[in-house]
Chains A and B, each alone.
Chain A
Amino acid sequence: MTANEVRSTIMNGLPCDHVEVLGDDGQHFEAVIVSPQFAGKNKVQQHQLVYLTLGERMRAEIHALSMRTFTPEGWTQSAMK
């Protein structure tokens, strides 16, 4: 799986304002994901929402997806730091 495929799979399954995915070995990826769906959820629930979009591919093809998740508000604040 390429970083671009990971990115489009996440975007198809979850309304996102912003998604960046890095990683070029097909198994290890790093992602920054900004979605209004994360509001009111803890980090575990936020990461679970992303894992859900990847489904079986997360178990079978991807070894690790390192994530930083933000709500749109949190993202704006972190950009201003």
Chain B
Amino acid sequence: MSVQEKIRKQVTENSVVLYMKGTPQSPQCGFSGATVQILHACGVENFAAVDVLADPEIRDGIKSYANWPTIPQLYIKGEFVGGSDIIREVFQQGELQKLLQTAQA
């Protein structure tokens, strides 16, 4: 399986997937940590977290997958939602909560 297929599988088999540096319990980057906090603030505890630092192939492949060069990246129901800035923005607008509700319905 190519790395792109592997990523497609991850984002379609899990309704909420966060590609991040480190783990939700121990984020290795402030932007990744802030995104975990936002998901928790939305009441989402069970999401698939992929630590890109543990997998160089994914770390590189995820940048091409959504044509997005930075980490973190959030996917809801297979759709790329955004990186750190956009996640914060849609959260502040209340849109992220709606997206997450449809994902968990």
Contact = CB atoms under 8 A, between A and B. Distances in A.
Secondary structure type dominating chain A contacts: helix
B53 interface: no
B63 A43 contact: no
Secondary structure type dominating chain B contacts: mixed
A67 B88 CA distance: 11
B85 A59 contact: no
A54 B70 CA distance: 12
Interface residues of A, number: 13
Nearest to B30: A64
A64 B35 CA distance: 14
Contacts, number: 33
Bin the interface of chain B by size. Answer: 10 to 19
A48 B80 CA distance: 12
B86 interface: yes
B57 interface: no
Interface string A47-81: 11001001000110000111110000000000000
A65 B84 CA distance: 10
Interface of B: 31, 63, 67-70, 80-86, 89
23 contacts: A43-B82, A43-B86, A43-B89, A44-B68, A44-B80, A44-B81, A44-B82, A44-B86, A47-B68, A47-B82, A47-B85, A48-B67, A48-B68, A54-B69, A58-B69, A58-B70, A59-B63, A59-B69, A64-B31, A64-B70, A64-B84, A66-B85, A67-B85
